[in-house]
């Protein structure tokens, strides 16, 4: 079982300030941390490794400073850490970021096939939740979002719980696949001192654009068609209720509910 | 077993200086830091002195994240709405090798730590040391809060800052009394570089420090300061904890009053406070310096109370003590013996250096000033009254003015007593 976890360095949301005039995040003042969802993803990967054996690799795209979060994952128990870092990556939007990460993961796969890719549900700074599905599409892996629990992994199939607005659903999916995870997926551990020392000594594997053989027109500002018009919090959806039972009962209830509305 | 040559507790400037010297010499050294990164927990106004840093890394200014080289140091004796000021400006200080710089310790320490790692030191962050491991009267390692958290070494260097829990646990010192520490608070006020340069009257990139006395701390013993960074002004004040708690003023009120003082406010007007810090500064001086060396252990920096409060020097003493402790270790390393006697060259070297000599020079000054509030609440204001008398053109003859000035200065508390108090303070600083 080889699990790759995508990790992003983000400004500590607890300490970030919002520029009152431009409404953008002032990233300079806040310390950089491992995206909290990604931290839970790494911990979940370690738990799967403990149960089924195998190996956990982490990968991040970002500046050299992102080595810090890779080393943190090593202290948590990851076996290998890759940093994709190159001037030509700067300014990438979610489209380009997904492309670059995919190329990195493909490079890892050349030496060591991958069974499972984990991403956080979203990055707490960008908040788009697009990168995970973007990678899955490019790797041609099925994707399951909002995963809150891994129920089982057996005979090439993974069964997970996906968090819904009010409840969860249980889904099964063939491996390899990609999951984006909620924080409930794992409890964070506390690294031992020998693990901290191993991490401090660890040499992060750093790859530039040439090594992952990526197309430079698909990255950086040139490869990033997104433009931000406005940032706002969407209104919460109201109503809706989960229906329980087998397919037959559920469809029955559904039809009668619809009929009720129509009459 | 996890065994190293040296364990350093605390990645402040003291710990990093020691780590750098040791790693350069090929010693197997590990630094334990409780913060997320070196610097993340560090608070400093901060003037960093070039000389002591250069003794470690020549021409560090070419590479290190610095704010502004200081070209002018001003001193303000403040009244309610008056100030007597003095200072010195030297444009030589705007060029290499410089005199000193303002820095943000968050950035500077992170950079310094990266140099230590390049030299071969291991830095373990987010790890709290709780006590020294002692066997047969010798310090042989450190216990941390992590699982499997014991680490062993020939020598442990304590650089864990002002509170130094570890040295206290070893019985090297007691909990500091409120008269041995000052509470310093400060803010970073964000302002455009050009505005800073105009308001402080310096050319592009140059910096100014102002030390403020008197009304700035409401007559309490302490100082306030204003330092220019690239795009921030640091403003803060520190007063002895004992006097602060007597005064019943909250530290935040004190800083607020300083910021609103009519002579200070124009310097920071329109700026936004982006960061707020509070931290203790050791102020006990010479008499508070604990035992510096034991079997297998040395204490450096703030942990050893090595701060010269009167000259607001701390980081330089921390660096020098770190370097000297490392050099003492190197000698012991060659012999392979790490007991107190073998490490004592550190205590000797520091006593012979400016560090202890300066602290000794002022050994009674702080105490005299603390015991007698007149220095801060009578004589300092009298300087302003005297200056006013001297400079007001009001038709009175100069001779009677001189007489009045002397009376202002010495009259409040009686001639003889005043003369004695001033001589006493003067003598304590000679
Ligand atoms: C509209 C918009 C415009 C932007 N413009 C710019 C710009 O001009 N310049 C610029 O530098 N940045 C820009 N960004 C930021 C950057 O594009 C995104 O931060 C990045 O693409 C990831 O998107 P996200 O933060 O929404 O991550 P999400 O999609 O919310 O992240 C989900 C998960 O994907 C994985 N992941 C995401 N990013 C990475 C990564 N870098 N490495 C490894 N794994 C990762 C993590 O597992 C994460 O939990 C922009 C962001 C947005 C939303
Ligand atoms: C507001 C303010 C302004 C100042 N201005 C100046 C100035 O302008 N010029 C000047 O020279 N000095 C100044 N000083 C003093 C100067 O900051 C200190 O003297 C200097 O930082 C001492 O360095 P140090 O390495 O001994 O301690 P610190 O810099 O305090 O470093 C101690 C380190 O140890 C870590 N630590 C503590 N306990 C543990 C533990 N149990 N386990 C692991 N790690 C631990 C801490 O996180 C910290 O990183 C100022 C101080 C303050 C508070």
CATH of the domain at B132: 3.50.50.60
Q: Is B26 helix (H, G, I), strand (E, B) or coil?
A: coil
Looking at residue A40, its pLDDT comes to 98
Please check whether residues B170 and B315 belong to one and the same domain. Answer: yes
Q: Is the pLDDT of residue A208 over 80?
A: yes
Instruction: Write the CB contacts of B401 (distance below 8 Å, at least 6 apart in sequence).
Output: B389, B390
Please check whether residues B303 and B158 belong to one and the same domain. Answer: yes
Residue of A nearest to B149 (CA): A193
First-residue to last-residue Cα distance in chain A = 54
Please check whether residues B298 and B404 belong to one and the same domain. Answer: no
Looking at residue A154, its pLDDT comes to 93
Position B86 in a domain? no
Please check whether residues B140 and B191 belong to one and the same domain. Answer: no
Position B91 in a domain? no
Looking at residue B159, its pLDDT comes to 98
Q: Is the pLDDT of residue B43 over 80?
A: no
How far apart are alpha carbons B107 and B120 in whole angstroms? Answer: 20
Q: Does the ipTM surpass 0.95?
A: no
Q: B362, B376, B347, B258: which is closest to B309 by C-alpha?
A: B362
Position B64 in a domain? no
Give the residue from B282, B305, B329 where a domain finishes. B282
pLDDT band at A24 (very low <50, low <70, confident <90, very high): low
Give the residue from B318, B333, B362 where a domain finishes. B362
A35 ligand 1 Cβ < 6 A: yes
Helix ranges, B159-297 (H): 165-169, 193-200, 241-247, 251-260, 265-268
Please check whether residues B31 and B123 belong to one and the same domain. Answer: yes
Q: B384, B415, B35, B424: which is closest to B219 by C-alpha?
A: B384
**With an 8 Å Cβ cutoff, is A29 touching chain B?**
yes
Lowest mean pLDDT among A201-205, A222-226, B125-129, B337-341: A222-226
Section B82-92 average pLDDT: 94
CB contact under 8 A, B127 and A196: yes
How far apart are alpha carbons A112 and B171 in whole angstroms? Answer: 55
Classify residue A173 by burial, with Cβ atoms within 10 Å: 0-12, 13-18, 19+.
Answer: middle
**With an 8 Å Cβ cutoff, is A17 touching chain B?**
yes
Q: Best residue in B114, B117, B146 to probe A by mutation, most A CBs within 10 Å?
A: B146
pLDDT band at A18 (very low <50, low <70, confident <90, very high): low
For strands A32-34 and A9-11, give the pairing: antiparallel
Looking at residue A26, its pLDDT comes to 60
Verify cis geometry, omega within 30 degrees of 0, for the bond prior to A112.
no
Section B29-33 average pLDDT: 98
Please check whether residues B255 and B348 belong to one and the same domain. Answer: no
Top pLDDT among B57 and B283 is at B57
Please check whether residues B275 and B190 belong to one and the same domain. Answer: yes
Position B83 in a domain? no
How far apart are alpha carbons A28 and A11 in whole angstroms? Answer: 8
Please check whether residues B121 and B245 belong to one and the same domain. Answer: no
Please check whether residues B150 and B8 belong to one and the same domain. Answer: yes
For strands B181-190 and B272-282, give the pairing: antiparallel
**C-alpha dist (Å) from residue B419 to B181, B290, B425:** 29, 34, 10
Looking at residue A99, its pLDDT comes to 98
How far apart are alpha carbons B90 and B108 in whole angstroms? Answer: 25
Give the gyration radius of chain B's Cα atoms: 23
Q: Is the pLDDT of residue B80 over 70?
A: yes
Residues of A in contact with B109 (CB under 8 A): none
Position B293 in a domain? yes
Q: Is the pLDDT of residue A30 over 80?
A: no
Looking at residue B259, its pLDDT comes to 95
Two structure tokens written together for B282: 């050791």
CA dihedral (B62, B67, B68, B74) positive or negative: negative
Top pLDDT among A148 and B287 is at A148
pLDDT digits (tens, 9 = 90+) for A88-135: 999 999 999 999 999 999 999 999 999 999 999 999 988 899 999 999
Q: Residue holding tokens 């995963």?
A: A147
Q: Which domain holds residue B406?
A: 372-427
Looking at residue A25, its pLDDT comes to 59
Q: Are B39 and B188 in contact (CB under 8 A)?
A: no
Position B71 in a domain? no
CB contact under 8 A, A197 and B122: yes
Average pLDDT score over chain A: 92
Position B96 in a domain? no
Q: Is B430 helix (H, G, I), strand (E, B) or coil?
A: coil
Give the residue from B282, B311, B328 where a domain finishes. B282
Half-sphere exposure of A253 (CA within 13 A, CB side): 9
Section B279-303 average pLDDT: 94
Average pLDDT score over chain B: 92
Please check whether residues B381 and B356 belong to one and the same domain. Answer: no
> How many separate domains does chain B show?
3
CATH number at residue B242: 3.30.9.90
Section B250-268 average pLDDT: 93
Q: A179, A44, A54, A50: which is closest to A113 by C-alpha?
A: A54
Q: Is the pLDDT of residue B1 over 60?
A: no
B161 ligand 2 Cβ < 6 A: yes
Q: Is the pLDDT of residue B40 over 60?
A: yes
Residue of A nearest to B142 (CA): A193
Section B308-324 average pLDDT: 93
Looking at residue B419, its pLDDT comes to 80
Please check whether residues B20 and B134 belong to one and the same domain. Answer: yes
How far apart are alpha carbons B285 and B305 in whole angstroms? Answer: 7
How far apart are alpha carbons B105 and A164 in whole angstroms? Answer: 45
Position B22 in a domain? yes
How far apart are alpha carbons A186 and A161 in whole angstroms? Answer: 13
Rounded to 5°, angle at Cα B5 from B331 and B354: 45
Please check whether residues B45 and B147 belong to one and the same domain. Answer: yes
């Amino acid at each position: 079982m080889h699990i790759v976890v995508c990790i992003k360095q983000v400004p500590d949301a607890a300490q970030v300030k919002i520029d009152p005039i431009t409404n953008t995040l002032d990233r300079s003042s806040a310390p950089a941390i491992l995206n909290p969802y990604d931290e839970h993803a790494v911990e979940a990967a370690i738990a799967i490794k403990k149960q089924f054996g195998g190996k956990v690799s982490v990968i991040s795209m970002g500046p050299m400073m992102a080595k810090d979060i890779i080393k943190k994952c090593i202290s948590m128990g990851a076996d290998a850490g890759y940093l994709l870092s190159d001037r030509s990556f700067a300014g990438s939007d979610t489209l380009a970021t997904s492309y670059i990460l995919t190329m990195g993961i493909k490079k890892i796969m050349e030496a060591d096939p991958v069974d499972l890719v984990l991403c956080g549900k979203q990055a707490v700074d960008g908040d788009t939740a697009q990168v995970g599905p973007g990678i899955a599409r490019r790797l041609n892996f099925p994707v399951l979002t909002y995963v809150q629990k891994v129920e089982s992994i057996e005979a090439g199939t993974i069964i997970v719980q996906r968090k819904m607005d009010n409840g969860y659903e249980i889904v099964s999916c063939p491996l390899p696949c990609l999951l984006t995870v909620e924080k409930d997926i794992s409890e964070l551990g506390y690294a031992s001192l020998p693990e901290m020392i191993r991490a401090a000594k660890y040499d992060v594997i750093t790859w530039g654009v040439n090594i992952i053989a990526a197309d430079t027109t698909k990255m950086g500002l040139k490869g990033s068609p997104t433009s931000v018009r406005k940032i706002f919090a969407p209104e919460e959806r109201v109503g809706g209720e989960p229906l329980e039972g087998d397919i037959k009962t559920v469809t029955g209830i559904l039809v009668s509910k619809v009929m009720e509305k129509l009459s | 077993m996890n065994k190293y040559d040296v364990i350093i507790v605390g990645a402040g400037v003291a710990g990093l200086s020691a780590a750098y010297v040791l790693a350069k010499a090929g010693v197997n050294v590990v630094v334990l830091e409780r913060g997320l990164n070196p610097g993340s927990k560090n608070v400093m106004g901060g003037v960093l002195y070039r000389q002591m840093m250069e003794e470690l890394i020549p021409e560090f200014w070419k590479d290190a994240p610095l704010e502004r080289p200081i070209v002018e140091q001003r001193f303000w004796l403040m009244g309610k709405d008056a100030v007597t000021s003095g200072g010195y400006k030297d444009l030589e200080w705007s060029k290499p090798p410089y005199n000193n710089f303002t820095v943000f310790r968050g950035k500077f320490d992170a950079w310094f730590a990266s140099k230590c790692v390049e030299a071969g030191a291991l830095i373990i962050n987010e790890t709290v040391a709780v006590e020294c491991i002692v066997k047969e009267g010798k310090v042989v390692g450190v216990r941390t809060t992590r699982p499997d958290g014991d680490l062993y070494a020939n020598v442990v260097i304590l650089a864990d800052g002002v509170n130094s829990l570890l040295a206290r646990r070893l019985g090297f010192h007691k909990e500091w009394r409120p008269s041995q520490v000052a509470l310093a608070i400060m803010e970073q006020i964000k302002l455009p570089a050009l505005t800073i340069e105009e308001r402080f009257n310096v050319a592009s990139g140059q910096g100014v420090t102002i030390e403020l006395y008197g009304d700035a701390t409401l007559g309490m013993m302490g100082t306030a300061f204003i330092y220019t960074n690239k795009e921030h002004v640091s403003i803060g004040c520190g007063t002895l904890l004992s006097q602060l708690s007597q005064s019943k003023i909250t530290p935040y009120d004190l800083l607020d009053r300083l910021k609103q003082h009519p002579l200070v406010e124009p310097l920071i007007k329109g700026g936004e406070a982006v960061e707020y810090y509070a931290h203790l500064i050791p102020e006990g001086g010479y008499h508070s310096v604990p035992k510096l060396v034991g079997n297998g252990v040395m204490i450096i920096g703030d942990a050893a109370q090595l701060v010269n409060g009167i000259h607001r020097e701390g980081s330089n003493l921390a660096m020098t003590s770190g370097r000297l402790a490392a050099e003492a270790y190197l000698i012991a390393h060659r012999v392979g013996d790490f007991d107190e006697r073998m490490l004592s060259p550190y205590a000797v070297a520091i006593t012979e250096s400016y560090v202890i000599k300066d602290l000794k020079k002022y050994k009674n000054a702080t105490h005299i000033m603390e015991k007698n509030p007149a220095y801060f609440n009578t004589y300092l204001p009298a300087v302003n009254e005297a200056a006013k008398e001297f400079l007001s053109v009001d038709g009175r003859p100069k001779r009677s003015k001189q007489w009045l000035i002397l009376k202002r200065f010495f009259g409040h508390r009686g001639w003889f007593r005043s003369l004695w108090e001033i001589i006493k303070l003067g003598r304590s600083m000679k």
